[in-house]
Amino acid sequence: MIFKLIGDERPYPAHGLSHREWAQIPPRQVRLDTLITTKAVLDLHSLLAKDSTFYGDLFPHVVQWRGELYLEDGLHRALRSALHQRSVLHARVLDLPEQG
């Protein structure tokens, strides 16, 4: 098993973080088998591209909400880590508090 669950949506409320705000969150190690994806489909061109992180953040974006870790951005990076036999990756993790 690579991921905890394969999802195809973001069940948490919108956080509105910009790329600049994400960049302020220091990366930390996250186990792949604790992540729930928010995309069920992956473009192989993104996975296999040598410059796949050239225009984006080097670290995947993960949202922690209600005790779960949701992989919001960086599915191809996470899968590439798994293909290299790694069970952990460095990601920026936003702890999103429950509202209300």
pLDDT digits (tens, 9 = 90+) for 4-22: 999 999 999 999 999 899 9
Which of 20-29, 37-46, 49-58, 73-82 is the most confident on average? 20-29
Q: Please say whether the beta carbons of 57 and 25 come within 8 A.
A: no
Whole-structure pTM value = 0.87
Buried-state track 7-16, b at ≥16 Cβ within 10 A, e below 16: beeeebeeee
